[in-house]
Amino acid sequence: MPLKADTICRDMLVMEVIIRKNGEECGLVAARIVAKCLQEKEKPVLGLATGSTPLQLYGELIELYRTGTISFKECTTFNLDEYVGLDHSHPKSYHRYMADNFFGRVDMCAENINIPDGTAEDLRQTCQEYETKIEQCGGIDLQILGIGSNGHIGFNEPMGSLSSRTWIKILSKNTIKDNGRFFKDAREVPRHVITMGIGTIMEARHCLIMACGWKKSEAVKAMIEGSVTAQWPASALQFHRRTTAVLDEEAASLLSHREHYAWVEENMMPWQTY
């Protein structure tokens, strides 16, 4: 769909790369981006991620809520993904992760929280309903993303379609191994998940992708400076109208154009900064 003029004026039409010393500083910048969205929108719609990367961000947001700077009362959220077959109270389910690390600690209204239901009897229907609900809420204003060491976003694994919608996916062996660290054993990691598709993510008005640590450096390089390819699903974000990548030094270590990214950040208009 062609972008309307007002969108072009408001959005940056580039991938913005912000590099900070460590995860803590990345969390601070990311929290400012989320806070700005909450303050600008009357009824903000956030897309949320799980995993270890956004924990610093959630910590900062909880702090901003506690000090009265932001509120989540008017906010609607859609999580990216969930394991199939894990009960919502399962300690490794993303329902539980979100309750423990975020929702239970801010003023979110329970009825505004949306997480794919990996326990639904009809998984295909639940995926379609998820897409419809996002649309009914007017789309996602700000989508928070992590990146897998294999370049996945959400649970969109390499070699999948770059225009996929919310659907049931099979985890790659690489991700099962990576996520084994959250379970007693990698064999306990479910093989099936529900995830928003790349096409769903691409419709968010702003994507905020975070990456920390050496383990992400190859995927980050491919996402920002490589060719757009299904081998590195995050590279699809090069076509996104407004993506901000917030990286720590280690995750950014393989980038060739760091000086340029720093130059762009230094010369932003005041309204473009976070």
Catalytic residue ranges: 81, 150, 152, 157
Q: Which of 129, 100, 116 is nearest to 192 (CA)?
A: 116
Q: How far is the CB of 15 from ligand PGA (least distance, A)?
A: 18
Give the Cα separation of 163 and 228 in Å (integer): 13
Q: Tell me whether residue 56 or residue 114 sits nearer to ligand PGA (CB atom).
A: 56
Q: Which amino acid is at 123?
A: L
Instruction: List b or e across 191-222, with b for residues whose CB sees 16 or more CB atoms inside 10 angstroms.
Output: eebbbbbbbbbbbbbbbbbbbbbeebbbbbbb
Cβ-proximal residues to 103 (8 Å cutoff; 6+ apart), any chain: 110, 113
For 20, the 3-state DSSP assignment is: strand
- Cβ count within 10 A of residue 235: 21
Number of residues that bind ligand PGA (CB under 6 A): 6
Q: Does 93 participate in binding ligand PGA (rule CB under 6 A)?
A: no
Token output for 138: 């007017």
Q: Considering only 24-32, 140-148, 224-232, 251-259, which stretch makes contact with ligand PGA by CB under 6 A?
A: 140-148
Stretch of 4-12, 47-55, 70-78, 263-271 contacting ligand PGA, by CB under 6 A: 47-55
Q: CB of residue 207 vs ligand PGA: minimum separation in angstroms? A: 13
Taking the complex as a whole, the smallest distance from the CB of residue 242 to ligand PGA amounts, in Å, to: 20
Which residues share a beta bridge with 97? none
Report which residue's Cβ sits closest to ligand PGA: 51
Which one of the spans 87-95, 96-104, 144-152, 230-238 is the region binding ligand PGA (CB under 6 A)? Answer: 144-152
Q: Is 146 in the site for ligand PGA (CB under 6 A)?
A: yes
Residue 16 host element (H or E)? strand 15-20
Distance CA 91, CA 41 (A): 33
Of the candidates 174, 266, 176, 160, the residue with the CA atom closest to the CA atom of residue 218? 174
CA distance 24 to 248: 9
Closer of 50 and 126 to ligand PGA (Cβ): 50
**Closer of 52 and 132 to ligand PGA (Cβ):** 52
Say whether 245 sits in a helix, a strand or coil: strand
Question: Does residue 22 bind ligand PGA (CB under 6 A)?
Answer: no
Binding of residue 197 to ligand PGA (CB under 6 A): no
Q: Least distance to ligand PGA from the beta carbon of 271, Å?
A: 30
The amino acid present at 60, given as its one-letter code, is E
Residue with smaller CB distance to ligand PGA, 112 or 193? 193
Question: Which of positions 50-69 make contact with ligand PGA (CB under 6 A)?
Answer: 51-53
147 is an interface residue for ligand PGA by CB under 6 A = yes
Using an 8 Å Cβ cutoff, are 186 and 180 in contact? yes
Q: Does 148 bind ligand PGA (CB under 6 A)?
A: yes
From the list 40-48, 66-74, 143-151, 189-197, the region that binds ligand PGA by CB under 6 A is: 143-151
Return the range that interacts with ligand PGA (CB under 6 A); candidates 14-22, 45-53, 117-125, 197-205.
45-53
Residue ranges in contact with ligand PGA by CB under 6 A: 51-53, 146-148
